Amino acid sequence: MINLSSKRFTFSLLFAITFLLIFSSCSGTDSHTVSEFNVCVGMPINDVKKLYPDSKFQSESPNQFGLCSSGEDGISVYRNDSLLFYFWKDWEQDQVGGFILFDSNQAYQGVHPGMTVSDFLRIHPNAVGTISLMDSKEYLFVPSNDDWYQVESTLDDLSANYKMVEGEYEFLEFRDLEKRISSIFVK
């Protein structure tokens, strides 16, 4: 004989699991699949090329990405005419010295371009905002590492409040958590 209360329990449990799976797949701002970015600082250039065999590698000046030039061009990686990332070589070896990730389908340590500031702060709750005096762009900075996350904003419409202190912007608090990350800078 089947215990009716155990059927109810089983049905309730299955319903709850189904609801959680549906809810978790629909929650958040990301509705597309994001894979982890596999390039890292110190990786040999030939290994990068092996990871992206169907991509175009093009030599480009670091100046167009807001970087100071050391006299040597970096390499932009394109797929289907879309810029995935830009990297520069280590001065002494034929390996990645740093990179800027632009592709919203790839994440670096759980963060990807296109992610909202709100979602970013769930991963890095100690992050602060900053404004670069060189290019007047807003970045999120994580004090525990040296990575920078550029925010899609203008000086008239920032994701955070700042005050000017001795010629520099001092972060006060975040205010527009729906702003999005446009690129990730790692060196």
The most confident of the ranges 3-7, 24-28, 45-49 is 45-49
For the entire predicted model, the pTM comes to 0.80
- Which strands sit side by side in the sheet containing 56-60, from one edge to the other? 56-60, 74-79, 82-89, 96-101, 181-186, 148-151, 138-141, 128-131
Q: How confident is the model at residue 31 (pLDDT cuts 50, 70, 90)?
A: low
Work out the average pLDDT over 46-72. 88
More confident: 176 or 63: 176
Residue type at position 19 = F
Digit-coded pLDDT (tens) for 61-83: 988 887 776 668 899 999 999 99
What residue ranges in 2-132 does DSSP mark as E strands?
A: 35-36, 56-60, 74-79, 82-89, 96-101, 106-107, 128-131
Domain segments of the chain: what residues? 37-103, 105-187
pLDDT-above-70 percentage for the chain: 81
Annotate 122-134 with b (16+ C-beta within 10 A) or e (fewer). Answer: eebeebbbbbeee
